[in-house]
Amino acid sequence: QVQLVESGGGLVQAGGSLRLSCVASGLTVSRLTMGWFRQAPGKEREFVAVQQRFAGAPVYADSVQGRFTISRDNVKNTGYLNMNSLKPEDTAVYYCGAVGRTGLSRRPDDYDFWGQGTQVTVSS
């Protein structure tokens, strides 16, 4: 059974940090392009970061560049999103997505697998 499970969200003050995890089962993380997206209430799902399969160079949204870092641990079959210097506007449900193709897509429709999401709330 193919499954992605996110964790690590929570409530943090502005300027704080969180690390989100995305554990994959039924899939091999090293062979996946993995992306992180977020969705705030009343808004569309928004691209945050993507890393190509086989640990290619990552790409970030301008709004998180220099603050967020996408990575993966192939032994743990897990993807990560390290978030530093968090701002209230980062508040959203964060989702990891995966697809078994090479690419740096910012479009949610290009991803085949999704986790259930984890809530990140940043207070001012």
- 8-50 per-position pLDDT tens digit: 999 999 999 999 999 999 989 999 999 999 999 999 999 999 9
pLDDT at 55 over 90: no
pLDDT in the model for residue 57? 83
Average pLDDT, the chain: 95
Q: What is the pLDDT of residues 86-95, one digit of tens each?
A: 999 999 999 9
| Distance in angstroms (rounded) separating the CA atoms of residues 79 and 95 | 11
CA pair distance 96, 23, nearest whole angstrom? 9
